[in-house]
Amino acid sequence: METPAHSKPLQDKTFKSCLMFVNIYLLPVLLMIHPSLTLPSSSLPIPHGPQRLTWEVISPSGSVVWSTSDTQVPGTWWPPLHPEVCQLVLGLETWDLPDQDSIPFHPGHPLPQVLSPGSSMGGYGCRDTSWRCRLHHQDFYVCPKDGRRQDQTFRCGGPESLYCKAWGCETSGAADWGPSSAWDWITVQCNYTPEGLDQCTPLLLRGSRSNSCGSTSPCARSPTCNPLNITFTTSGKQYATLSSWIKGRIWGLRYYVSGTDPGFWFKIRLRITSPDPLPVGPNRALAPAYWPSHPQPEMTKQPTSKGTGTPALTSMRTSSPVPIARFPSRAYLQEREQCC
């Protein structure tokens, strides 16, 4: 049996039609049903109008320990961030709160120590008031993970050293030698003022810890007595950095103590979502606003004028105080027509 003529072109045409149907109709539906098939948020275009912006500080355990939100245009809002140290290290096995869900606060009755003084923590930690107070007056330095050159990445190490393997890797911090950088995207300082103020007061009674950790110290009044003050630098405020902020950037922080310097890492991330819809009233083009009509005047009659049997309209009265209009009588108008 012979093959019908033009059978292959017809098959190709049918295949192309099916492929076109999938691309035009089916693929958009699949992307709506399965968001994982779409592009990652960091590669999507960033809207230029006002959006709901949320800056988050994330701990090594993956918890958002501090955040702030506002409706702003992306690239124009760079608020100070104030996470607390003991909230960042909560649950870490390398610190003294691996068995806690919250920061313990028992003045005068500390919990049993997981790491005793003289261990890798060196007597600094978050488990009781005295350890938090020592941490409160201790120098620290910060090293970035992202944005480093290849030679810096090799020299400064990875998460095992909190990206501070060698001196000179630190770009910020609250330390006597004043670590700084011209290229890093943030600066990290202490924040012993009330949360929300982007300034750092000097450390009080430095070197006199026995006198500064009494009942009047901040750590004796609150378990969260070690807040940080993170501010964005000019390099970090560029519009081109937004896609990287959406992905998240990591820094390591270490305390300068005798022996091995304890520390932790944290991530800063920006989330951009659609703002809450504003209430919208009725469309006046479709339903014009109703305006109440003015009250109609009421006619009043007066006694019959002389020489005629027709009552004269003399005034109008309304329910609102408006001037009364006076009208000439019909007899007067007739006499005027006859004489003129």
**DSSP collapsed to 3 states, 22-64:** HHHHHHHHHHHHCHHHCCCHHHCCCCCCCEEEEEEEECCCCCE
Asked, for residue 142, whether it belongs to a domain, the answer is yes
Asked, for residue 92, whether it belongs to a domain, the answer is yes
pLDDT-based confidence at residue 136 (cuts at 50, 70, 90): confident
Domain count for the chain: 1
Distance CA 98, CA 61 (A): 11
Rounded to two decimals, the pTM is: 0.65
CA 204 to chain centroid:
33
Asked, for residue 90, whether it belongs to a domain, the answer is yes
The CATH number covering residue 186 comes to: 3.90.310.10
Asked, for residue 11, whether it belongs to a domain, the answer is no
Domain residues for the domain of 159 are: 51-201+213-273
Better-predicted residue by pLDDT, 118 or 145: 145
Better-predicted residue by pLDDT, 184 or 129: 184
Asked, for residue 282, whether it belongs to a domain, the answer is no
The total number of residues shown for the chain amounts to: 340
State the distance between the two ends of the chain, measured CA to CA, in whole angstroms: 117
Is residue 77 predicted with pLDDT exceeding 50? yes
Asked, for residue 16, whether it belongs to a domain, the answer is no
Asked, for residue 157, whether it belongs to a domain, the answer is yes
Percent of the chain whose pLDDT exceeds 70: 58
pLDDT score recorded for residue 291:
60
Q: Which residues contact 46 (CB under 8 A, 6 or more apart)?
A: 74, 75, 242, 243, 272
pLDDT digits (tens, 9 = 90+) for 170-215: 999 999 999 999 999 999 998 765 543 433 333 343 333 334 676 7
The sign of the CA dihedral 149, 155, 160, 161 is negative
pLDDT digits (tens, 9 = 90+) for 223-242: 888 999 999 999 999 999 99
Asked, for residue 6, whether it belongs to a domain, the answer is no
